[in-house]
Structure 1
């Protein structure tokens, strides 16, 4: 007898993934249904097939399994989409030991101390933007007034991009995470700019991340190559800006859609950190399609053997809703304890910008709670629009009043 997962996924091709959300802030209903099975077949936007791993324990184990490769530059490896190859650069090896060497050098520049040192500046930027928002008066789109302006300023200042150039980055990065592929013109413009900026920093180093990455050394492994330096600088702009912007917009909408939870954090600001972790658990920024991996040796998951040469998705969006780990996972609860979600991945590929992302979320939400305690959505939450052609499923607007 077919299981429910078989009926949903189909034996031959698999069900289309990412799944459609029934509402902008809700998880796809298929995730709960598919967790009846440890692995299911899914069909990616490219038309390629992959195995999706559904349960928390299996997903966490696979993220640390050396048989699961991040390197998708292999014959037969599934593609996220037919045209967008953002995560498939043949000149960059995303697996250990090469990835370990490069990441160690980058993290010597992107230290916890450097990130925490940014907090007062993040607060200052948030204060300026919210003050402008108040002066302009309601209604407003928090995407345009806060969610996007804040992280582009933060990441540009972190990297050392001059103020007068910062607005150009939003145009350049806008198409990089489209399922249909990035604009060649935008890609070349960003690449050329970053090349020139790196050369400027090499000649005149400053207290910024690019200067620190240029100087980063390791006794055994030397320094970042020119291409590695350029690649990581561009990557940090992409993930530090647009991913964070979508997360900030989603976080604001999530809190406003749950006024009881909003009130709890207003009454007890010490709940802010747990509120941020609960927002992250809901994985409002896209699906887990960007966690696509390649299986280098046969691997067993829940009694199912996934053969070498297959493509696999350790699905954090499903794992974060696993009933065996999270009590009442369908409930948005800012008081949730021990919230060990996998939104930032785990192991070797744990998100390098996780600490900065958390700081920005905490600062933005705390500032809004303090300055605009009567903030509310101007439309029913189900009418907030998403761009489903974007890998991040970005929010098109966050309409509010106060």
Structure 2
């Protein structure tokens, strides 16, 4: 792997001090950003080793990251000879039958986006509010302490996603295991992951056939109609792949962000007090929690340079495996002053946790809606909510793409 580096950063042939760093970087505490992110922007490119043992480079600066996310010379298709892998056991988002780059990706994305327009998302607000209230009612009936993951953070987004896609309520619990396998970096073996994915694929195929027989107003029914009535717009395998992807990742990222965001507020009582005193701070607080990149590192942003990419003072050579490091960009001092400080009053609207460009998260509007409704109603219902352990005693998941918390014990 060749990287043309800025001359001012080091002498020719001098290795970066961070060249031996494994990525993702470890966290000094469950709610703290990795120490390596502090001042990382002094080097625009940082060589790292991935969990697979393969090498890649992090692009560290906000302006560079944002630019690369819209550059078609940086491909999401890493199913190439010599390209780095995230995991040895799991290909995750890679599928040789699906092109993850424009224009093929854009064609299908436009069809899926019909379900995620601002108007459609806002129309789901009453449903989201009702689900949150039901979950909080049950939480109150049980009494504390409870695990917030199991009582709110995970049940909410999976119920919302299943409602959107038209998945029967009785099948929701099965997705937790399938998602754990799909997002595994090292928790499961290759055969275990393969078995879980075969189960999910069979389920998706059955679900699509059920929607063909009895279509509804859900997204799977709509995509199936496009497949059957608009010849050439959506291949059968594309239909199955997108249904599977939305079911798997459409809820766990929101669940992880919701639980982590609540924990972050509870660990910063002065920020929580400010939010309780002025509920208009909530949208900004959500953006600041997103900037904190609670769901984990940027390893899932792994890309491949299909051509030389000239940057400001350096070049990313063709054939380089590249990670546009959103976690570093969100800590860029030139965009977010004192980035190491959790401050819900700052303008964090430029955070890149939902990515940017052609791969901007299609569910961003829905995720924001769920985060705002759940956070506001949780603290309104339980103003005395608190963790039952010290924040530094929380434990994060290991061996998974998302670095969510194992449990979030709270009482009130």
Q: Which TM-score band (shorter chain)?
A: over 0.9
Supply the RMSD in Å over aligned alpha carbons: 2.0
Separation (CA, whole Å) in 2 of partners of 1:369 and 1:3: 50
Residue of structure 2 aligned with 1:310, choices 305, 320, 323: 320
Match of 2:278 in 1: 268
| Shift in Å, 1:286 | 1.2
Residue of structure 1 aligned with 2:342, choices 322, 328, 332: 332
| Shift in Å, 1:270 | 1.2
Match of 1:70 in 2: 76
Match of 2:128 in 1: 122
Match of 1:223 in 2: 233
Residue of structure 2 aligned with 1:189, choices 199, 219, 222: 199
Matched residues, number: 399
Separation (CA, whole Å) in 2 of partners of 1:306 and 1:7: 16
Kept after mapping to 2: 8 A contact 1:39/1:301? no
Separation (CA, whole Å) in 1 of partners of 2:263 and 2:38: 23
| Matched ranges for 1:204-283 at <5 A | 204-216=214-226, 222-283=232-293
Deviation readout 1:347-385 (Å, 9 max, x if unpaired): 000011111111110011011111000001111111110
Residue of structure 1 aligned with 2:116, choices 95, 107, 110: 110
More moved, 107-116 vs 31-40: 107-116
| Shift in Å, 1:216 | 3.8
Deviation readout 1:319-369 (Å, 9 max, x if unpaired): 000000112111111111252011000000001111111111001101111
Kept after mapping to 1: 8 A contact 2:46/2:59? yes
- TM-score, scaled relative to structure 1: 0.95
Match of 1:142 in 2: 148
> Does residue 393 of structure 2 align to residue 386 of structure 1?
no
> Does residue 33 of structure 2 align to residue 23 of structure 1?
no
- TM-score, scaled relative to structure 2: 0.93
Deviation readout 1:106-155 (Å, 9 max, x if unpaired): 11233322221111111111101111111111111101111111111111
* Long gaps (5+) in structure 1: none
Cα gap change, 1:220 to 1:61, in 2 (>3 Å) = farther
Residue of structure 2 aligned with 1:320, choices 326, 330, 337: 330
More moved, 239-248 vs 15-24: 239-248
Residue of structure 2 aligned with 1:8, choices 2, 17, 42: 17
Match of 1:160 in 2: 166
| Matched ranges for 1:31-110 at <5 A | 31-110=37-116
Separation (CA, whole Å) in 1 of partners of 2:115 and 2:145: 41
| Matched ranges for 1:296-375 at <5 A | 296-337=306-347, 339-375=349-385
* Long gaps (5+) in structure 2: 1-7
